[in-house]
């Protein structure tokens, strides 16, 4: 297959200072239909034009007449786009435009079949969850928040210790109450060093609470009454005395990470990922990590084996004599 000309990927900006590239009349007619009948925005029209330019280039390289294209031709063009480094999402947008063109031709009796119908872009690989290094996570957990109000400092420190020390989801953490009273979604049993939460799918699970997290929790509980409104059952409360919200917690965590000198934007789930990957690095017990995280399927937990492999690969590259490049 001949190499197709390079055309800007959908999602990239289209210069306004240059006139749009001309297409065959049969394709310009469809774009006119989209502009007049469908009232597509100029930006959308530019993306459709780009997709059609790719179609012309690919079909021309194969010597295929557009209205005679077959599914196997389109599969080859998808493969060419993918091999050229185009992202699956961009390919999906291009296929959507091609599919619309052939559908319109079919409605007007110009083609007998839609060669793009049923064809899909390659699946995008699942990105690895972002986790902190052990050193970064410990630095954040040991950082004492810079706050004029000692109650807020104690609260924010306790939040980090529970997120990283117990692997809690943000919803599980802000749902914690001060005790197992009626209607409590979750709580921490100080005597038993256990946290009880209501996780995804309304499934309850329990997990151990480490000594550092217990110490931070006791310190916060000693200050909590200074902030909590009368009768408030939430373990973590805001300045107003009511249950801390998701956005408030994220903002406070981001601030702490900056104060601790971490070079990345830290969010609550990053600490859960760090909890899981660091446990797996140390223990290698995938089933235990699955139980601690509350995953219904082991396949969900297996993504952390990829994180662990990355860690091992870095160790190998740094330490093994045959991995080092010669100067």
Q: DSSP string of 181-224?
A: -TT-SBEEETTTTEEEEE-GGG-EEEEE--HHHHHHHHHHHHHH
pLDDT of residue 216: 95
CATH code 1.10.443.10 region(s) in the chain: 134-318
pLDDT of residue 257: 93
pLDDT of residue 19: 45
Q: What is the mean pLDDT of each run of 10 residues along the chain (327 residues)?
A: 39 40 88 91 91 95 94 93 88 94 95 92 68 88 87 95 91 93 88 88 86 95 96 95 95 92 86 84 74 71 58 54 50
pLDDT of residue 326: 47
How far apart are the C-alpha atoms of 82 and 51, rounded to whole Å? Answer: 14
CATH number listed for the domain at residues 134-318 = 1.10.443.10
> Quick one: residue 182, left, alpha or beta (phi over 0 = left, psi -120 to 50 = alpha)?
beta
Cα R_g (the chain), whole angstroms: 28
pLDDT of residue 310: 54
Strand ranges of the sheet holding 187-189, from the earlier edge strand across to the other edge: 187-189, 194-198, 204-208
Could you tell me if 140 and 132 are in contact, meaning their C-beta atoms sit under 8 angstroms apart? yes
CATH code 1.10.150 region(s) in the chain: 25-107
Residue 290, φ and ψ in degrees, nearest 5: -60, -45
Could you tell me if 220 and 154 are in contact, meaning their C-beta atoms sit under 8 angstroms apart? yes
Could you tell me if 235 and 177 are in contact, meaning their C-beta atoms sit under 8 angstroms apart? yes
Could you tell me if 304 and 277 are in contact, meaning their C-beta atoms sit under 8 angstroms apart? yes
Residues 6+ apart with CB under 8 A from 192: none
Could you tell me if 220 and 152 are in contact, meaning their C-beta atoms sit under 8 angstroms apart? no
**How many CA atoms, within 13 angstroms, populate the side-chain half-sphere of residue 144?**
6
Could you tell me if 210 and 148 are in contact, meaning their C-beta atoms sit under 8 angstroms apart? no
pLDDT of residue 307: 52
Across 215-288, the runs of DSSP E, i.e. the strands, are: none
Residue 67, φ and ψ in degrees, nearest 5: -75, -5
With CA atoms as reference, report the closest residue to 257 among 274, 277, 236, 245.
274
- Return the structure tokens found at 137: 């996570």
With CA atoms as reference, report the closest residue to 70 among 24, 26, 109, 116.
116
Residues 6+ apart with CB under 8 A from 52: 23, 27, 30, 31, 97, 98, 101
Is CATH 1.10.150 the classification given to domain 25-107? Answer: yes
pLDDT of residue 306: 58
pLDDT of residue 184: 84
Residues 6+ apart with CB under 8 A from 38: none
Residues 6+ apart with CB under 8 A from 133: none
Tokens 């502009």 correspond to 35
As annotated, the active-site residues are 169, 200, 269, 272, 295, 304
């Amino acid at each position: 297959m001949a190499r197709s000309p390079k055309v800007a990927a959908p999602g990239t900006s289209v210069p306004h200072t240059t006139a749009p590239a001309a297409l065959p009349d049969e394709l310009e007619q469809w774009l006119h239909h989209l502009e007049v009948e469908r009232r597509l925005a100029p930006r959308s029209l530019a993306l459709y034009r780009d997709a059609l330019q790719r179609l012309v280039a690919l079909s021309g390289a194969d010597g295929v007449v557009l209205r005679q294209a077959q599914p196997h031709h389109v599969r080859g063009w998808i493969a060419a786009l993918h091999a050229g480094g185009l992202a699956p999402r961009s390919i999906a947008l291009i296929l959507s435009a091609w599919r619309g063109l052939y559908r319109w031709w079919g409605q007007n009796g110009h083609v007998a079949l839609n060669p793009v119908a049923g064809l899909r872009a390659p699946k995008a690989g699942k990105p690895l969850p972002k986790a902190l290094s052990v050193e970064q996570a410990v630095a954040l957990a040991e950082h004492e928040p810079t706050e004029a109000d000692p109650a807020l400092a104690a609260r924010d420190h306790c939040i980090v210790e529970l997120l990283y020390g117990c692997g809690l989801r943000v919803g599980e953490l802000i749902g914690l109450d001060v005790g197992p009273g009626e209607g409590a979604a979750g709580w921490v049993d100080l005597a038993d060093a256990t946290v009880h939460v209501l996780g995804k799918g309304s499934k309850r699970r329990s997990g151990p609470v480490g000594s550092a997290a217990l110490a931070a929790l006791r310190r916060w509980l000693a200050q909590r009454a200074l902030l909590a409104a009368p009768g408030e059952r939430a373990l973590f409360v805001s300045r107003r005395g009511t249950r801390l919200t998701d956005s408030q917690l994220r903002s406070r965590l981001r601030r702490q990470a900056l104060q601790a000198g971490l070079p990345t934007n830290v969010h609550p789930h990053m600490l859960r990922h760090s909890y899981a990957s660091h446990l797996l690095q140390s223990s290698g017990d995938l089933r235990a990590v699955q139980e601690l995280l509350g995953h219904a399927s082991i396949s969900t937990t297996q993504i952390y084996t990829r994180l662990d492999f990355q860690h091992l690969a870095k160790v190998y590259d740094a330490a093994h004599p045959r991995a080092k490049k010669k100067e």
